Structure 1
Amino acid sequence: MQTHGWDSESGTIIFLHSWSKGNFSNEELIDLELLFRVYFIGLTRETQEYAGQLHFKYPMEIQVAAGCELHSSDIEKGFLRAAYQGSDFLSFQNMSWVPSLKSDSRAQSACDLMNQYEAIRETVHSLTTNTCPRFALGLFDAGKVDLQKQVRPVAWLSSGPSPGPGRLLLVCHVSGFYPKPVWVMWMWGEQEQQGTRRGDVLPHADGTWYLRVTLDVVAQEAAGLSCWVRHSSLGGRDMVLYWGHHLSMYLILLAVTVPLILLIVVALWFKKRCSYQDIP
């Protein structure tokens, strides 16, 4: 679940939930905001300054992941990893910058350069091993109602546009579930169908999620296929929907609805006919 964002124009933190401030005071959050702003500006400036020296080529993509891991055994582990052009580049370990195993000589040069700045290393260490665990624990406590919420999915089957002559596009819809992680697969018995195509998990306005999973098959081979859904709200039991059963339900619905409509039409006709006969 995303709890925060960053407004790059104003250099401010975006709080996405009412509890996103955790138990930090406004003063602490303002200090963090200022620190992030300074480091974002500094990272951009230093990258531009040393790009030529480190043989970086524009355009370039630098990705940074930083945070902390909290365990039930009270073990807290901070981390910061950086990637260059989509590949692991360096990380922060034991108060030092260390090149990734698969990185080239540029990573070692970058680490040698950054390790010269002791104040930055101390700040990164403090943020990942002290500030992050404190903030995360406060966040979990403040948002535990939302973070622990479980909403069961609703699932149904349909057919999509025909992929070609003699073929069917089977569609499994899974909607209204929370939290976001979900496993959905088309199956034959207990065998996963490798042709299963998973769409994006899309948000509903109420904070729950929707997923569409498809399978392109020969029409004669559709019978016996099923869609399996696994979600934390289901208590360890899979939700299984069998292709063909949904067609039976449609037929049952039609069998009930059509006579009901006919009955209403006949009743209205008799009522109208009787009203005309009452006119002198």
Structure 2
Amino acid sequence: MIKILIMSLTLSLHLFLIATATDIRINWLQNYYYSSDRVLTLWGSLVVEDIEILAAYNDSRFIVFKQSWSKGNLSNTDWMFFNMFLGSFFYYFQLHIDDISEELEIKGAFITQCVAICPSSTDNPAGYAFKIALEGEDLVHLNVTEGVWVAGDYPYSEAVQKHLQKDKVTLVSIENMLKNQCHAMATKYSTAGKEALSRKIQPQVYITKKVDKAETEVICMVTGFYPKPINVSLWKEKKIEDVMSTVTLPNGDGTYQITVLTITNLIEQESIYCQVEHSSLKEPIIVHLG
């Protein structure tokens, strides 16, 4: 299973090779659903910083370029070859996962995830990572600095760790992929998407209220901003209110949104406001209720 995965990752990295310095990080995530009747389904994505640039849905042969610049310098011949390889990879991966699930006596349906994390700098081996999870739990991960597999807390972790540690060829392949090729891939995409990666879009801020008996629910919605990091707070009479918040969610256009709310018994709405701090702003946005 792991050998086939490495072949896929290695080929992907070779196709996007270039040598220009930059400072970004990429995540290559693959999810595999193995049904109880032994049918394998794949979906996944490749993310540069916080921008999803490639996605695979249901079958490894169907790759979608999520950004206009994400195909880079791939020729049609390269892409045809890549698709042919992914088809065979999908077939052989299923054979490997059959063997391992039988060896470990894993019954029923399950999901496994594989992720490679690659920073642009080659000077920090600890910044590179290769992780494998089962049902969302840490199964094993590679200690790149020491070149050893480390078991997680999942019931199958120790068995998988021992299995992988014996396979020196796979270990060397992963280390080479992380240390030698990830930097070139990250640099390629940083160059191809330089404008997209460095863009800054100011947030739109909306504040509303919902009155219920003696309490007032104050809601601040912030949307349309990029990049992702943002600080949103609700204030009442120059004091920060305790708030509940959603996670920062993606919009369909590549920007983000977040909503925060608080419960207050103060009805004088002119004293309540939402404050937003973001890298696209020279100073915070302040929007008063009403």
If the length of structure 2 is used for normalisation, what is the TM-score? 0.67
Distance in 2 of aligned mates of 1:63 and 1:23: 29
Q: CA deviation at 1:143?
A: 0.6
In the other structure, the counterpart of 1:153 is 203
Aligned partners of 2:214 and 2:265 also within 8 Å: yes
Distance in 2 of aligned mates of 1:212 and 1:127: 40
* 1:258-277 correspondence runs (5 A): none
The runs of 4+ residues in structure 1 deviating greater than 6 Å are none
* 1:1-280 correspondence runs (5 A): 1-9=51-59, 11-23=61-73, 37-71=87-121, 75=124, 77-94=127-144, 96=147, 98-100=149-151, 102-103=152-153, 106-160=156-210, 162=211, 164-188=212-236, 192-198=240-246, 201-205=249-253, 207-220=254-267, 224-235=271-282, 237-243=283-289, 247=290
Q: In the superposition, relative to structure 1, how do residues 210 and 28 fare at CA in structure 2: closer, same or farther (>3 Å)?
A: same
Q: CA deviation at 1:131?
A: 2.3
Distance in 2 of aligned mates of 1:43 and 1:230: 46
RMSD across aligned positions (CA):
3.2
- Comparing 208-217 with 190-199, which one deviates more in the overlay? 190-199
AA of the residue aligned to 2:97: T
Aligned partners of 1:151 and 1:179 also within 8 Å: yes
Q: Could you say which structure has the greater relative contact order, defined with CA pairs below 8 angstroms and 6 or more residues apart?
A: 2
Aligned partners of 1:23 and 1:135 also within 8 Å: no
Query: What 5-or-longer segments of structure 1 have no aligned partner?
Result: 248-280
Larger-Rg structure: 1
- Comparing 117-126 with 164-173, which one deviates more in the overlay? 117-126
Q: CA deviation at 1:222?
A: 5.9
Q: CA deviation at 1:172?
A: 1.2
Query: What 5-or-longer segments of structure 2 have no aligned partner?
Result: 1-50
If the length of structure 1 is used for normalisation, what is the TM-score? 0.69
Q: In the superposition, relative to structure 1, how do residues 112 and 10 fare at CA in structure 2: closer, same or farther (>3 Å)?
A: closer
Aligned residues: 238
Q: CA deviation at 1:169?
A: 2.1
AA of the residue aligned to 2:284: D
Aligned partners of 2:248 and 2:256 also within 8 Å: no
Q: CA deviation at 1:37?
A: 5.0
Q: CA deviation at 1:20?
A: 0.8
Distance in 1 of aligned mates of 2:148 and 2:160: 9
Distance in 2 of aligned mates of 1:35 and 1:189: 62
Distance in 1 of aligned mates of 2:128 and 2:79: 19
Distance in 2 of aligned mates of 1:180 and 1:56: 39
